[in-house]
Amino acid sequence: MSGKTLYDKLWDAHLVREDDNGTGLIYIDRHLVHEVTSPQAFEGLRLTGRNPWRTDAVLAVPDHNVPTTQRDQGVAGITDPVARLQVETLDSNCESFGITEFHMNDLRQGIVHVIGPEQGATLPGMTVVCGDSHTSTHGAFGAMAFGIGTSEVEHVLATQCLIQKKSKNMQVRVEGELGEGVTAKDVVLAIIGEIGTAGGTGYAIEFAGSGIESLSIEGRMTVCNMAIEAGARCGMVAVDQKTIDYVTGRPFAPKGEMLERAIENWRDLHSDNDSVFDRVVTLKAADIQPQVTWGTSPEMVVPVNAAVPDPAQETDSVKQTGMQKALEYMALQPGMPVTDITIDKVFIGSCTNSRIEDLRQAAAVAKGRKVADNVALAMVVPGSGLVKQQAEEEGLDRIFIEAGFEWREPGCSMCLAMNADRLEPGERCASTSNRNFEGRQGAGGRTHLVSPAMAAAAAVAGHFIDARELV
Amino acid sequence: MEKFTTLDGLVMPLDRPNVDTDAIIPKQYLKSVKRSGFGPNAFDDWRYLDPGEPGEDHSKRRPNPDFVMNQPRYHGAQILLGRENFGCGSSREHAVWALEDAGFRVVIAPSFADIFFNNCFKNGVLPIVLDAGVMDRLFAEVEASVGYRLMVDLEAQTIATPDGEVIHFEVDEFRKYCLLNGLDDIGLTLQHADEIHAYEQRRRAEAPWLFNAITL
Ligand code: SF4
């Protein structure tokens, strides 16, 4: 019999029971909750008179709707009444059900996928769920992590379990050494460009190979974050010494003897040598260049020094129409160099790229430069209050502010434009977020997904440019 | 979830095909943080002459007297007759929440959109598929007689009309079991509570760090 993949191990360790038809009841170790997808779940509990199974497994935080400026008046100061109501509702639900919440003005508040790992609430070997598709981020710790819907949020609250079918196993290998100045974001965009946005459908993806191993934990989070954009519900990376070092000392992480025991267990969180994957895709690290998306799907991506592709060269007619539509929406000409695309706004933030390392990479480019005149707004939104504090200690805020960037309070912000941060119709944005769908950052807005360094480079140049030329 | 066994209910006909979930509950009400309270906004665009916003007092709005729901003879209806492709469009569970909150426990139509059909069962609402011919007859009967009621028996899988006709309907065994016993997915999972406890006990011994409490 062949060995087990990392996903097999995680699945088996969490299987409470299995039906004859292969449907599993999976135990959930950590449940992260935010204000947008939880209200009806709490309401459901109330209506049915059910209590949460285990409140101590849950951590809540408002992030999607919170303003990124002027927070001094607290929740009462949120001007959008819908946003305010959702944040207030989260506060009162957590209070009445006894769930731990980092409130809006708590230093530890931030994007749910940034704070989980930051607090050690996410640990290797866990199952982690959240009513948000980018929960795949937490797979960077050798965890099984995926997004769920509102009914499932209620299900987990009430039972600490989820009814699931097991996915197939896929391994994406990035072999060799990444070029200087090529980041985790470029790696994952290149992967999606290669396998497509449906490439991972039905699979759990394990990212592996020396190119992935060489990434920091933060970089691995960026890669796993976008597993969902490749169609997979969860992405993961095996545990190594970096994982253990990252987790050690975090507030909710085990300590002392318990930590020793945990580490011993975590060392087994990798695919066995003789394990078999249903599909393996391999990329050469050396081939990966800084990436820029040109269309309205993350798979519509090219290296920065390439040209916008020409639909006429596409043989698949469905794809061809898709490309034409995307080019029309994005107002781009086939064949034009990506570096000729000028931009109106820059957004550095989101659960993909708002951690300290991301801000350092962006600051390294912005340092001593100025945001170009044609850029109306360049904003940096740290992933959490702690990331913000750390950045300020390192003087990154000064670098950004002096260059003409706005330095904001933590939250999802212009990643999905639920709060006041958004694009106006027709505006073009270099964004470090994860979705370039039509209207994602505001109705009629045009989004180009890039790494933090590339976003900063675009901000100072006023158009896309290879960030490696600036550092 | 509320059990469904039998229902002797007043019938309301909604005589148009392709009733979509946007018509059942328009998108402005999705901003709500509630699962209940959508009843006054079921079929909002058809039901009121003036536009509505979440949070306002809908009893103060101008009802559309031509819409079937506003006719006194259908007040208190619990059974909805629909036409083909009922519940098509967006997947919003809010559509079922709205119907249920408006008092409907049964929807009978010749065909349903898939997601809506599934969402009904999750929320204690019974969707019944009947032949288009039988539907035509029911529509004619309900319109002809004020106070027309149907008697739905899920166990027996029958609908009895006032003049004694008994119509058989099909329902998935498992769905039927869940509805009869008031079991939603959560209820079903909780039937295995012992197994969950046993799992927790074993894991706590094996990997106690996974149970580190999140408290401040
Ligand atoms: S940053 Fe964007 S993708 Fe991430 S959780 Fe917030 S809205 Fe979702």
Q: Is A56 on the interface with B (CB under 8 A)?
A: yes
Q: Which of B46, B39, B42 is nearest to B66 (CA)?
A: B46
From B213, which residue of chain A is nearest by alpha-carbon distance?
A56
Residues A364 and A395 sit within 8 Å (Cβ to Cβ):
no
Which contiguous run of DSSP H or E holds residue A25?
strand A23-27
Measure A236 CA to ligand 1 centroid, in angstroms.
18
Distances (CA, A) of A424 to A147, A365, A406, A428, B162: 29, 26, 18, 9, 60
pLDDT of residue B209: 97
Kindly state if the Cβ of A416 falls inside 6 Å of ligand 1.
yes
CB A37 within 8 A of CB A173: no
The reply to whether A160 touches chain B by the CB within 8 Å rule is yes
A53 touches chain B (CB under 8 A): yes
A381, A347 in Cβ contact below 8 A?
Answer: yes
Distance (Å, whole) CA A266 – CA A136? 19
- Find out whether the beta carbon of A415 lies less than 6 Å from any atom of ligand 1: yes
> Which residues are CB-contacts of A66 (< 8 A; sequence separation ≥ 6)?
A78, A83, A87, A104, A109, A409, A410, A411, A412, A419
**H helical segments located in A160-208:** 184-195
Largest CA distance in chain A: 64
* Dist. CA A227–CA A134, nearest whole Å: 8
Is the Cβ pair B35, A40 closer than 8 Å? Answer: yes
Strand locations in A358-445, DSSP E? 377-380, 406-407, 428-431
Closest CA relative to residue A291, chosen from A133, A181, A171 = A181
Three-state SS at B114:
helix
Instruction: With CB atoms and an 8 Å threshold, state whether B214 touches A47.
Output: no
Confidence of residue B114 (pLDDT cuts 50, 70, 90): confident
SS3 assignment for A243-274: HHHHHCCCCCCCCHHHHHHHHHHHCCCCCCCC
Interface contact A107, partner B, CB < 8 A: no
Beta bridge partners of A238: none
User: Is B4 within 8 Å of B105 (Cβ atoms)?
Assistant: yes
Could you tell me if the CB of A351 is within 6 A of ligand 1?
A: yes
DSSP code of residue A414: G
Give the distance (Å) from ligand 1 centre to CA of residue A382.
12
Q: Does B185 touch chain A (CB under 8 A)?
A: yes
Given the cut 0.95, state whether the ipTM is greater than it. no
Phi and psi angles of residue A346, each rounded to the nearest 5 degrees, phi first: -135, 130
A376 touches B: beta carbon within 8 Å: no
CA of A215 to the centre of ligand 1 (A): 22
Token match 């079929």: residue? B43
Q: Looking at CA atoms only, how far is residue A469 from chain B in angstroms?
A: 45
- Closest residue (by CA) to atom 1 of ligand 1? A350
CA pair distance A352, A379, nearest whole angstrom: 15
pTM: 0.85
- SS3 for A60-118 is ECCCCCCCCCCCCCHHHHCCCHHHHHHHHHHHHHHHHHCCEECCCCCCCCECHHHHHHH
Tens-place pLDDT, residues B4-60: 999 999 999 999 888 888 889 987 777 777 778 899 999 998 999 998 887 789 999
- At residue B90, the pLDDT reads 64
A414 lines ligand 1 (CB under 6 A): no
**Residue carrying the six token digits 């519940």:** B87
CA B113 to chain centre: 13
Measure the CA–CA gap between A461 and A339, rounded to whole angstroms: 10
The CA distance from B214 to B205, in Å, is: 19
Count of C-beta atoms within a 10 Å radius of residue A108: 18
Residue among A16, A100, A163 whose CB faces B214 most closely: A100
DSSP-derived 3-state class of residue A307: strand
Token pair listed for A355:
């951690």
pLDDT given for residue B95 in this prediction: 92
For A74-94, write each residue's pLDDT tens digit: 999 888 888 899 999 999 999
| pLDDT band, residue B91 (cuts 50/70/90) | low
Which one of A63, A135, A138 would you pick to mutate in the ligand 1 pocket, going by the greatest count of ligand atoms within 8 A of its CB? A63
Residues of chain A scoring pLDDT < 50: none
Which of A16, A56, A160 is facing B214, going by the closest CB pair? A56
Q: How many CB atoms lie within 10 A of CB B65?
A: 8
Q: How far apart are CA B23 and CA A359, in angstroms?
A: 46
B47: Cα within 13 Å, side-chain hemisphere: 20
Residue A66, ligand 1, Cβ within 6 A: no
Q: Which of A319, A341, A324, A316 is nearest to A450 (CA)?
A: A341
pLDDT in the model for residue B131: 95
Cβ-contact B43, B63 below 8 angstroms: no
Distance CA A137, CA A121 (A): 13
Distance A100 CA to ligand 1 centre (A): 21
A34 lines ligand 1 (CB under 6 A): no
Long-range contacts at A152-157 (CB < 8 A, ≥ 24 apart): A153/A31, A153/A33, A153/A37, A153/A38, A153/A41, A154/A40, A154/A41, A154/A42, A154/A44, A154/A45, A154/B186, A155/B185, A155/B186, A155/B189, A156/A28, A156/A31, A156/A129, A157/A31, A157/A41, A157/A42, A157/A45, A157/A52, A157/A53, A157/A58
What distances in angstroms separate CA A73 from CA A418, A444, B125, one per listed residue? 20, 32, 44
A471 touching B (Cβ < 8 Å): no
pLDDT tens across B127-184, in order?
999 999 999 999 999 999 999 999 999 999 999 999 999 999 999 887 898 899 988 8
What mean pLDDT comes out for the span B76-100?
Answer: 88
- Helices B173-180 and B114-122: crossing angle in degrees, nearest 10, is 30
C-alpha distances in Å from residue A132, one per residue of A17, A23, A111, A146, A160: 25, 22, 11, 8, 17
- CB contact under 8 Å between A262 and B200, yes or no, is no
Beta strands B149-153; B158-160: pairing state:
antiparallel
CA distance B123 to B179: 9
Grade residue B100 by pLDDT with cuts at 50, 70 and 90: very high
Region of residue B129 (left: phi > 0; alpha: psi -120 to 50; beta: else): beta
Distance of alpha carbon A382 from its chain centroid, rounded?
Answer: 13
